Amino acid sequence: MRARTTGRIGNLALAATVLAGAVLGGAGAAAGQSLTSVRGLGYPLLPVDARSEIMGGLGIGLQGFGVPLTNPASPAGVVRRGFVLAVENTSRDMELGEAVDGSSATRFPLLRMVFPLRDVVLTLGYGGFLDQSFGITMSGAVDLGTGGTLPFSDLVESTGGLGHFQVGAALPLGDDVAVGATIGAVTGNQRINLARRFDTTSVAGFEPFSEAYGWRYSGLMASAGVEAEIGAAAQVGASVTWSGAVSADSADGRAADRSFDLPLQVAGGGSVYLAPGLLAAASARWSGWSGSAPEGGIDDVIGFGDVIGARDTWELGVGLELDDPASRRTRTFPVRVGFQYRQLPFTFIEDQPSEWFVGGGLGMRMGSDAENPIALVDLAVQRGARSAAGSALTGDFAESVWRVALTLSLFGN
């Protein structure tokens, strides 16, 4: 890794150099948020509640109350006005070759409000879509050309990401089928701060410097979904989400404006009672990420000069829920376990990463109607891992992750 010996680096070459050095094994260590947020357009998020997170990950075709953004038909049949707020904390330990580090972050993956209006349920919601927050610290040394070196440290910090703001409606069609649709905007921003500090105790004339760049994201999205009951014990659902071209506009004119296409996503799932009070669920989603690269490469949006490959991905999940079969009880405490597997879309070093999570959860439902409670509190705790094969220079990448999600749902009369 080479460094200039004087002056400021007044362009995004420093970002490319530092990030590429961290990921590809240059002098120093990589640190901070998940390195899966560094590559491509970021780390894909799930805009779901804690119950859906455990019960397969997507909440599509899941019986009982649920309003995940993954299916606009899910709120059909809700008769009380209210809101759902989800918060999630993630702690991770990372290994990249011989480098080891850890980090944690808290997100709000879902906020949704429901407004029943006769047979139609109107919805307003915001959910996370891509996380672009990370931090990388590196150390190295400048060759002074006189037989000596000058140590330095580099820090790259990124904050921000993309989310979906949606307004929609869900409508029952008879007793067994419901449909829904949403329209909305892709919004968000990202800010990258770059800094280099020299150890000037032994050599004078080397000044520290820093740079900052920002982008604002904007675009359109829409989704449609359907859910249907099959007999008295089963339910299935499906949805499709379209996102058009998204603009990444420079916040201060210092970086190039870019645009890229977000993927078409098609999802399906279902749930069935295996016994009174024992619910099994499964869901899957395909996302067409391979068409998301802008001209010149995906990572040009965040300052890389290299082209990062993208692939279409699959997400799969299953879950079990044990609840009190007495449907008229005013308070129940369901217990849940589940597993999910996800492919991540963007190339990391030389491989496409994937992740898995396994975990359990508890809930508390207050109200006599399982479909329309007065209050819900859901907790999910998951253990998982992400991995990707590296090169001979870097070694393999691996992250072990603890994820804790909490959802609060409150409703009026």
DSSP string spanning 230-267? ETTTEEEEEEEEEE-EEEEEESSSSS--EEEEPPPEEE
Q: pLDDT category, 304, cuts 50, 70, 90? A: very low
Comparing CA positions, the residue from 111, 162, 144, 139 lying closest to residue 30 is 139
Question: Cβ contacts of residue 201 below 8 Å, gap of 6+?
Answer: none
- Distance of alpha carbon 57 from alpha carbon 44, whole angstroms: 13
Is there a domain that residue 149 lies in? yes
Number of H helices, E strands in the chain: 2, 19
Is there a domain that residue 41 lies in? yes
Task: Report the pLDDT value the prediction gives residue 244, as an integer from 0 to 100.
Answer: 86
Task: Report the pLDDT value the prediction gives residue 33, as an integer from 0 to 100.
Answer: 53
- Distance of alpha carbon 208 from alpha carbon 197, whole angstroms: 5
Q: pLDDT category, 76, cuts 50, 70, 90? A: very high
Comparing CA positions, the residue from 321, 325, 330 lying closest to residue 374 is 330
Q: pLDDT category, 299, cuts 50, 70, 90? A: very low
Decide if pLDDT at 11 tops 60: no
Q: What is the mean pLDDT of residues 181-207?
A: 82
Task: Report the pLDDT value the prediction gives residue 350, as an integer from 0 to 100.
Answer: 73
The torsion defined by the Cα of 346, 251, 184 and 51, in degrees rounded to 10, comes to 50
Q: What is the mean pLDDT of residues 373-389?
A: 93
Task: Report the pLDDT value the prediction gives residue 308, as an integer from 0 to 100.
Answer: 67
Q: Which two tokens stand for residue 292?
A: 């998301």
Residue 65, helix vs strand vs coil: coil
Decide if pLDDT at 374 tops 80: yes
How many structural domains are present in the chain? 1
Q: Which of the residue ranges 93-102, 202-211, 220-229, 349-358 would you say has the lowest mean pLDDT?
A: 202-211
Per-residue pLDDT tens digits for 213-242: 888 999 999 999 999 999 989 999 999 999
Contact predicate 165/197, CB 8 Å:
no
Q: Which residue matches tokens 């580090």? A: 101
Contact predicate 285/263, CB 8 Å:
no
Task: Report the pLDDT value the prediction gives residue 135, as an integer from 0 to 100.
Answer: 75
Per-residue pLDDT tens digits for 147-156: 677 788 888 8
Beta strands (DSSP E) in 367-394 are 375-391
Global confidence as pTM: 0.84
Per-residue pLDDT tens digits for 262-293: 999 999 999 999 999 999 999 999 999 988 76
Q: For residue 243, how many other CB atoms are within 10 A of its CB? A: 22
Q: pLDDT category, 298, cuts 50, 70, 90? A: low
Decide if pLDDT at 129 tops 90: yes
Dihedrals phi, psi of 67, to nearest 5 degrees: -135, 50
Task: Report the pLDDT value the prediction gives residue 326, as an integer from 0 to 100.
Answer: 66
Owning domain of residue 313: 13-411
Q: pLDDT category, 370, cuts 50, 70, 90? A: low
Which CATH number characterizes residue 221's domain? Answer: 2.40.160.60
- Distance of alpha carbon 67 from alpha carbon 48, whole angstroms: 8
Task: Report the pLDDT value the prediction gives residue 19, as an integer from 0 to 100.
Answer: 44
Is there a domain that residue 167 lies in? yes
Residue 72, helix vs strand vs coil: coil
Is there a domain that residue 316 lies in? yes
Report which of residues 13 and 383 the model is more confident about: 383
- Distance of alpha carbon 137 from alpha carbon 275, whole angstroms: 53
Q: Which of the residue ranges 2-11, 87-96, 276-285 would you say has the lowest mean pLDDT?
A: 2-11
Decide if pLDDT at 297 tops 70: no
Give the β-pairing of 99-117 and 82-96.
Answer: antiparallel
Percent with pLDDT over 90 in the chain: 48
Decide if pLDDT at 342 tops 90: yes
Decide if pLDDT at 20 tops 70: no
Per-residue pLDDT tens digits for 59-73: 999 998 889 999 999
> Exposed, middle or buried by CB within 10 Å (0-12, 13-18, 19+), for 231?
exposed
Task: Report the pLDDT value the prediction gives residue 202, as an integer from 0 to 100.
Answer: 58
Which helix (H) or strand (E) segment holds residue 272: the answer is strand 265-275
Q: For residue 366, how many other CB atoms are within 10 A of its CB? A: 15
Is there a domain that residue 180 lies in? yes
Mean pLDDT, the chain, rounded, equals: 83
Report which of residues 340 and 202 the model is more confident about: 340
Is there a domain that residue 220 lies in? yes
Q: What is the mean pLDDT of residues 47-67?
A: 94
Beta strands (DSSP E) in 49-98 are 82-96
Cα R_g (the chain), whole angstroms: 23
